[in-house]
Amino acid sequence: MQLLLLTTAILALLRPHPAIGAAIRPRNLKEITLDIVNANVAPDGFERSAVTANGTYPGPLITLTKGDFLRVTMHNRLTDPTMRRSTSLNFDGIFFSTQNSFHEGTPFVTTCPIGPNASFVYDVPLIEGQTGTFWYHSQLSVQYVDGLRGALIVYDPEDPSAHLYDVDDVNTIWQIGDWWHNSSIPLLAGYVATGIVPVSDSGTFNGVGRFQGGPEVPFFVQNVEAGKRYRFRIINQSARNVFTMSVDNHNLTIIEADGTTTVPHTVNQIIMLAGQRYSVVLEANQPVANYWINAPFVGGNPAVNPNQNATLSRAILRYAGAPAADPVTPMTLGPVNANELIEADLRPLAAQAAPTPDVNISLTLFVTPGKAQWNINNVSYLSPVVPTLVKVLDGATRAADFNVTENTFILPVNSVIEVDFAPNIDDEAHPFHMHGNNFFVVKSNSSDLVNTVNPLRRDVTGVGAAGVIVRFITNRPGTWFFHCHIFWHMQAGLATVMASGLDGTDRADIHPNRAWENLCPAYDALPADLQ
């Protein structure tokens, strides 16, 4: 703690600060206030205290337009001792510049958490023309299991796929997620004690769901008009669960994956890993009626939790003129003749060859049998006391400057990095997610094809038994978290930090503000039960 306080004090003296109270109002500013509060919610009919943004699950929708500057004022008002009372926001899939990397929100990598009764302002300028479907959530431990999740959509006024759909608005966003009746602290304690990953009680669709034996909470209803084409933006906000999406009697044409516009690709079923997003076009071309939107999920042994019935995870597609009633057809897990998405079949609309790698990294994932411990190259990630970015600003440039358990890879700037994941022998695909950047999926877990000509770029891909190769470019130097988006696995060590530009002048471009510099001393001064 003394080292951290000294480091922060030195940084405060060396770096220029904006004038206190100065009004800095960027062009195209979009301001949002999120009050992080404990609220009683009952998405599936079981009421519990949760961690919420503005008292709702999911949290408020954030909508932006290409080129906007997002400013989020976050007030931490958490009081419930059964859950973490500090917090930190992450904006999943949004690019961050080197200069703005201290706003990126990853605890102990780019920042320290924000304690109760404290506030922080996140400045998130949209860069590089980024548009698409994103989301925000708590990045602290497994706190977003308790409810702190919401959608973030960036609209493109000149969307090259606009001719394919008629409707794309706030009513065509589908947020699916796993829901848990118990709070994250005892769930995590049980995982640590047994090595068994917790199993959710239910799945939710836009904030509502059902569990076995529970009340018949009305299903979410998606209204459509015959003859119109709808762009549905689907976000898997789970901490663990894999959802399989389909709509009875309707095809889904994929036009976006994790913010990358794709060549239209039509399927009737999509498997979505935690953290993944897709935009699909659905044409309302069937007889006027009610149709099931199927969203069954898997995530651990359902026998562990008798509340779980994945068949109940669904919604209703209701044509104008149809009765306000459930579909008359049976609830199924999806189409009998499934034309399922194969990730390797997706192509970006703006094709770009994967550049030749300058650095090759091989990663092998391994779980310690019977323990809540995951390893990458025999290292189980542990968050450092001093955040990685603070160490970098204090002069850290070599691997020896970081603890082995930080699993930090030191990379050259403006280089192409290839990460080769060895085939994984466990029974589930691990959704690996890169913060602040995206990557070329040169080889998907869904195929043996190696595609360097026009691979998909996205920020979450499944790492599994077939092996995976991704490449990314270190053109935005910084300390970027690269981890499994099954947050139980991430908390158990399935994570790395990809750090680039540490030995160049890029580090001098980072000028954190005083509010950021004060976060670590304030957090370290908190008693353990408030952290």
Q: Spell out the alpha helix ranges (H) of 388-509.
A: 388-393, 487-491
Q: Give residue-wise pLDDT tens across range 213-230.
A: 999 999 999 999 999 999
Average pLDDT across each block of 10 residues of the chain; the chain has 531 residues. List them in order. 39 37 72 98 98 98 98 98 97 96 97 98 97 98 98 98 98 98 97 96 98 98 98 98 98 98 98 98 98 96 93 98 98 96 98 97 95 96 97 92 97 96 84 97 97 98 96 96 98 97 75 96 97 96
Q: Phi first, then psi: give them for residue 484, nearest 5 degrees.
A: -75, 135
Tokens of residue 307, six digits: 């509340």
Cα distances from 370 to residues 193, 198, 302, 453, in angstroms, run 9, 14, 19, 42
**Between 3.30.470.10, 2.60.40.420, 3.10.580.10, 3.40.50.410, what CATH number should domain 173-341 receive?**
2.60.40.420
pLDDT of residue 7: 40
CB 250 within 8 A of CB 317: yes
Strand positions, DSSP E, 55-131:
62-65, 69-76, 89-92, 119-125
Q: Give residue-wise pLDDT tens across range 420-464.
A: 999 987 767 999 999 999 999 999 999 999 999 999 999 999 999
Cα distances from 410 to residues 112, 279, 392, in angstroms, run 21, 35, 11
Cα–Cα distance measured from residue 8 to residue 393, given in angstroms and rounded to the nearest whole number: 10
Look at the alpha carbons of 363, 369, 374, 378 in this order and tell me if their dihedral is positive or negative: negative
CATH class given for the domain over 359-512: mainly beta
CA atoms within 13 A on the CB side of 385: 9
Q: Decide: residue 288, CB within 10 A, 0-12 exposed, 13-18 middle, 19+ buried.
A: middle
Strands 314-319 and 221-224: parallel
pLDDT of residue 6: 37
Find out whether the peptide bond into 58 is cis, omega within 30 degrees of 0.
yes
Tokens of residue 469, six digits: 């190769």
If one counts every other C-beta atom within 10 angstroms of the C-beta of residue 116, the result is: 16
CB 480 within 8 A of CB 436: yes
Cα–Cα distance measured from residue 279 to residue 173, given in angstroms and rounded to the nearest whole number: 9
What residues does CATH 2.60.40.420 cover in the chain? Answer: 2-158, 173-341, 359-512
pLDDT of residue 504: 65
Q: Decide: residue 221, CB within 10 A, 0-12 exposed, 13-18 middle, 19+ buried.
A: middle
Cα–Cα distance measured from residue 10 to residue 12, given in angstroms and rounded to the nearest whole number: 5
- Give strand pairing partners of 484: 432
pLDDT of residue 427: 66
Domain 2-158 has CATH 2.60.40.420: yes
CB 280 within 8 A of CB 252: yes
Cα–Cα distance measured from residue 134 to residue 175, given in angstroms and rounded to the nearest whole number: 11
Q: Give residue-wise pLDDT tens across range 137-185.
A: 999 999 999 999 999 999 999 999 999 999 999 999 999 999 999 999 9
Q: Decide: residue 195, CB within 10 A, 0-12 exposed, 13-18 middle, 19+ buried.
A: middle
Tokens of residue 45, six digits: 């009919």
Place of tokens 């394919």: 164
What amino acid occupies position 330? P
| H/E run at residue 371 | none
Place of tokens 């917790």: 198
pLDDT of residue 24: 66
pLDDT of residue 13: 35
- Give strand pairing partners of 36: 53, 76
Which positions ≥6 away from 236 have C-beta within 8 Å? 176, 177, 242, 243, 272, 273, 274, 275, 276, 277
Q: What share of the chain is helix, strand, coil (3-state, %, to 5)?
A: 15, 35, 50
